Chains A and B, each alone.
Chain A
């Protein structure tokens, strides 16, 4: 069966520091991968998605970037975090339109 791993679970970072969140999927090959952000009082917002290695589509202009160095690995990065980057970050993969989410990373930028 397919599983998705996301880490860390929580992260507290100072403004201006770099960020790297990692997500890996097991049990499937060539999955579509996604990064969503969930801010307090707002719906999940799609940030990036990838349909293959090295293929990244950005949905929202922002301070973040994504990379897919391997088939089942998806990384969310920032060179300098802003206060507005705080939120709950979720990685997901899809199977026939259904999204399956990881456990999320709660990021607090102080």
Chain B
């Protein structure tokens, strides 16, 4: 059974204070690892997909990296508008055409002035 564990559960940063969120996973044949951002009361918004160990993706102040056992979401010089819950999800191979993602419980990030 696929498992996704995210840490920490909650993180409070001051504006400009860089940090990393962790996503460790267990899956039989990784087809893709996904990062989403979710604001309160809204649906998750897609950020990145990583497919193989060593891959990196960047978007503004966010950079996602992937190893064979975990992924990190690095946040450089965060701003208050980066406050949200960040979700990690994995998809194993052999699921046909459906995107059956297994999600972690997320990291709630709060960035203060």
Q: List A residues at the B interface (Cβ < 8 Å).
A: 6, 32, 34, 41-46, 49, 51, 57, 59, 90, 92, 94, 97-104, 106
Q: For residue B100, which residues in chain A have a CB less than 8 angstroms away from its CB?
A: 46, 49, 59
B34 near A32 with CB under 8 A, answer no
Known contacts: A43-B104, A43-B106, A44-B87. The answer to whether A102 contacts B99 by CB under 8 A is: no
Interface contact B106-A98, CB-CB below 8 Å = no
* B103 and A97 within 8 A (CB): no
Show 9 residue pairs from A and B whose CB-CB distance is below 8 angstroms, ordered by the A residue.
Answer: A41-B105, A43-B105, A44-B101, A46-B101, A90-B43, A92-B43, A94-B98, A97-B91, A97-B99
Q: Is B49 an interface residue (CB 8 A)?
A: yes
- Look across to chain A and name the residue whose beta carbon is closest to the beta carbon of B96: A51
Q: Interface range on chain B: under 10, 10 to 19, 20 to 34, or 35 or more?
A: 20 to 34
Q: Are B4 and A43 in contact (CB under 8 A)?
A: yes
CA distance A94 to B98 in the complex (A): 8
The contact of A99 among B42, B96, B99, B105, by CB within 8 Å, is B99
Asked whether A43 and B87 contact (CB < 8 A) given A97-B49, A98-B46, A104-B41, the answer is yes
B99 touches A34 (CB 8 A): yes
Residue of B nearest to A32 (CB): B98
**Which chain B residues lie closer than 8 Å to A94 at the CB level?**
98-99
Tell whether, in the assembled complex, residue B104 and residue A99 are in contact, meaning their CB atoms are under 8 Å apart: no
With both chains docked as a complex, state the minimum distance between the C-beta of B9 and any C-beta of chain A, in angstroms.
9
Name the A residues within 8 Å of B89 (CB-CB): 44, 99
Interface contacts beyond A42-B105, A104-B41: sample of 15 additional A-B pairs, CB < 8 Å, sorted by A: A41-B105, A43-B4, A44-B87, A44-B89, A49-B98, A90-B43, A92-B43, A94-B98, A94-B99, A97-B49, A97-B91, A97-B99, A98-B99, A99-B46, A99-B99
